[in-house]
């Protein structure tokens, strides 16, 4: 998902994701949305391939015994 | 008596001396709102009847010897994402235009219990993200230093109301910088407390794990007084922390001699949007802190871009989960900017989200490690002064000029403090970051910055 896509592939990817989510993007807003998606994809690329299996996400949690604060 | 420049502490002294009444303070503030807000759009709703009732109650109680503390009789306003019992709470959105909550948010209840006087509800970017926009039910707030310029967001009305001297304190919320951004661009103090320090219950969420609430104020002492009212454990807020609360004003004037302050210079030095003028201002503040006895050194943190990427992925994922049903059914009822930002949440994969959470752990550890060597960090709040409405910037994009999201990702307390005016007459602010739950240190350093910068002699708009 973080590979560089051509503009056409990026647009197709975006349309597919919006369709899967059940969202209809009005034609007059599509160009702006696509530009924002391209920007977001660039940011997401920074996050991929950075961590090995031992790097755990921040939402891994620990339980406390009942009654503990 | 002209009350608009009285600090919260000074208002309190005069109230207790009987020199002024809470009703007089409220009426003065209502008159200022009436005369100034037509051009600035800070308020979505002025609650005059409620304000006068709160004020009269405050006066009666003081007369009877019932003193609720430093916030007793103090006028304030709330960003319109804070639930207020019986008072419309719209999120600046058509989708909630008729929403009248049955209960107060915890913050609103605490301010009421502390004797505060509610003046009204303030403009925000729609759902605390979409703006500034002209396609919403209410117009956007304007920057009081120059109404052709934006306020920053999303606590736009809060920044405007405080900087234009309508009110000393206005509550905001901060998911990626929505307190500190408008504070920097409007020339106010704005603190995002540690994640978990202040209950978020009853404040409409944007992103549960990034949302923080806190005040925008005229000065650091006002912020410390307000946070004293707001801080505390709420067992019904799952993020709320049960940790001791210090007396925030105790160390305010201790100065910075002997403190160690780290500057993550690469955050702004390598950013395209950075202007020389704001860096010069930060360096002036760093030099002043050194002259006052602090050790101020450049430090290394992970790339700013990694903080921004993790923050945006987490924010958009959580926001989309909140708005998913309405995005499908009522997309065109959202403003264009809001909808354009929220739909991106549908394009984020589970793996993207998990990688962002892995980054969050790495980044939080890195900031904690830096703060094990330094008492506080100092950086810019924004890379430039407030842009014009006709030259908008995208606070959500990788090139955002607002430099605040790292500490939403990590949860550390962070405060923007105004330091001076740029050549264009608009304010510049710096940001001070502290260890988790050490807002007292943030206030202490912030108070020194406020004094050393010369900001206290700057005349605010409308003066």
Cβ contact B397–A39 (<8 Å): yes
- Write out chain A residues lying below 8 Å of B364, CB-based: 58
Maximal C-alpha separation, chain B? 62
Return the pLDDT at A68: 66
What's the distance, Cα to Cα, between the start and end of chain B in Å?
A: 14
Residue B199: alpha-carbon gap to chain centroid: 15
**Do residues B59 and B19 lie in contact, with contact meaning Cβ atoms separated by under 8 Å?**
no
Cβ contact B344–A21 (<8 Å): no
* CB interface of B with A, residues 223-242, below 8 Å: 242
With 80 as the cut, is the pLDDT of residue B2 above it?
Answer: no
Return the pLDDT at B1: 63
> pLDDT averaged over chain B?
97
Return the pLDDT at B310: 98
pLDDT digits (tens, 9 = 90+) for B348-365: 999 999 999 999 999 999
- In the residue annotation, B178 being an active-site residue is answered as yes
Interface test with A, best of B238, B239, B346, B394 (most A CBs within 10 A): B346
Region B186-208: mean pLDDT is 98
Task: Return the SS3 of B226.
Answer: helix
Interface test with B, best of A29, A43, A48, A61 (most B CBs within 10 A): A43
pLDDT digits (tens, 9 = 90+) for B63-121: 999 999 999 999 999 999 999 999 999 999 999 999 999 999 999 999 999 999 999 99
With 90 as the cut, is the pLDDT of residue A67 above it?
Answer: no
Region B8-28: mean pLDDT is 97
Return the pLDDT at A66: 76
With 60 as the cut, is the pLDDT of residue A2 above it?
Answer: no
Percent of chain B scoring above 70 in pLDDT: 100
For residue B434, how many C-alpha atoms fall within 13 Å in the half-sphere facing its CB?
21
pLDDT digits (tens, 9 = 90+) for B300-315: 999 999 999 999 999 9
Return the pLDDT at B4: 87
- In the residue annotation, B79 being an active-site residue is answered as yes
Work out the pLDDT band at A64, boundaries 50, 70, 90: confident
Cβ contact A55–B361 (<8 Å): yes
Return the pLDDT at B233: 97
Residue in the block written with tokens 């794990």 = B209
**What's the rounded Cα separation, in Å, for the pair B304 and B59?**
50
Work out the pLDDT band at A69, boundaries 50, 70, 90: low
With 60 as the cut, is the pLDDT of residue A51 above it?
Answer: yes
Region B178-203: mean pLDDT is 98
- In the residue annotation, B381 being an active-site residue is answered as no
- The DSSP code for B459 is P
Catalytic residue among B105, B164, B178, B240: B178
* Closest to B117 measured CA to CA, from B35, B45, B58, B186: B58
Region A31-40: mean pLDDT is 94
Question: What domains appear along chain B, each with residue ranges and CATH number?
Answer: 8-457 (3.90.1300.10)
Work out the pLDDT band at B399, boundaries 50, 70, 90: confident
With 60 as the cut, is the pLDDT of residue B366 above it?
Answer: yes
Region B32-42: mean pLDDT is 97
The 3-state DSSP composition of chain B as helix, strand, coil percent (nearest 5) reads: 40, 15, 45
Return the pLDDT at A62: 87
Cβ contact A56–B358 (<8 Å): yes
Work out the pLDDT band at B463, boundaries 50, 70, 90: low
**What's the rounded Cα separation, in Å, for the pair B1 and B20?**
9
């Amino acid at each position: 998902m973080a590979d560089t896509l051509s503009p056409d592939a990026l647009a197709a990817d975006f349309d597919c994701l919006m369709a899967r989510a059940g969202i209809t993007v009005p034609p007059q807003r599509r160009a702006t949305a696509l530009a924002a998606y391209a920007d977001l994809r660039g940011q997401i690329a920074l996050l991929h391939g950075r961590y090995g299996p031992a790097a755990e996400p921040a939402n891994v949690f620990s339980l406390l015994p009942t009654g503990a604060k | 008596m002209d009350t608009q420049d009285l600090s919260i502490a000074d208002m309190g002294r005069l109230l207790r001396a009987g020199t002024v009444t809470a009703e007089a303070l409220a009426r003065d503030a209502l008159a200022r709102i009436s005369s100034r807000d037509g051009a600035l759009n800070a308020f979505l709703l002025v609650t005059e009847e409620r304000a006068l009732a709160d004020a009269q109650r405050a006066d009666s109680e003081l007369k009877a010897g019932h003193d609720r503390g430093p916030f007793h009789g103090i006028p304030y306003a709330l960003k319109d994402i804070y639930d207020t019992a019986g008072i419309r709470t719209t999120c600046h959105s058509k989708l909630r235009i008729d929403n009248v909550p049955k209960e107060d948010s915890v913050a609103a209840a605490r301010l009421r219990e502390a004797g505060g006087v509610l003046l009204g509800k303030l403009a925000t970017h729609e759902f605390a993200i979409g703006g500034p926009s002209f396609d919403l039910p209410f117009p956007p707030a304007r920057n009081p230093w120059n109404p052709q310029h934006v306020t920053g967001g999303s606590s736009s009305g809060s920044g405007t109301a405080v900087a234009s001297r309508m009110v000393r304190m206005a509550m905001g919320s901060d998911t990626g910088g929505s307190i500190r951004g408008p504070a920097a661009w409007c020339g106010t103090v704005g603190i995002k407390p540690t994640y978990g320090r202040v209950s978020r219950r009853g404040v409409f969420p944007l992103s549960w794990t990034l949302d923080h609430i806190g005040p925008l104020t005229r000065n650091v002492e006002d912020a410390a007084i307000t946070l004293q009212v707001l801080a505390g454990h709420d067992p019904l807020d799952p993020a709320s922390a049960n940790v001791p609360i210090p007396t925030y004003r105790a160390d305010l004037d201790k100065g910075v001699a002997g403190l160690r302050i780290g500057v993550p210079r690469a955050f702004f030095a390598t950013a395209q949007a950075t202007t020389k003028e704001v860096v010069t201002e930060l360096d002036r503040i760093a030099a002043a802190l050194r002259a006052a006895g602090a050790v101020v050194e450049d430090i290394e943190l992970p790339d700013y871009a990694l903080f921004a990427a993790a923050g945006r992925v987490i924010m958009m994922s959580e926001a989309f989960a909140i708005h998913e049903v309405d995005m499908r059914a009522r997309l065109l009822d959202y403003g264009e900017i809001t909808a354009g930002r929220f739909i991106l949440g549908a394009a984020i994969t589970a793996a993207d989200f998990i990688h962002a959470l892995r980054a969050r752990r790495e980044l939080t550890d890195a900031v904690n490690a830096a703060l094990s060597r330094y008492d506080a960090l100092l950086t810019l709040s924004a890379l430039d002064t407030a842009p014009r409405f006709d030259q908008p910037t995208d606070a959500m994009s990788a090139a955002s000029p607002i430099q605040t999201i790292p500490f939403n990702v990590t949860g550390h307390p962070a405060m923007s403090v105004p330091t001076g005016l740029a050549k264009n007459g608009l304010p510049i602010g710096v940001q001070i970051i502290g260890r988790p739950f050490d807002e007292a240190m943030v206030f202490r350093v912030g108070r020194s910055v406020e004094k050393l910068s010369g900001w206290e002699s700057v005349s605010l708009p409308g003066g």
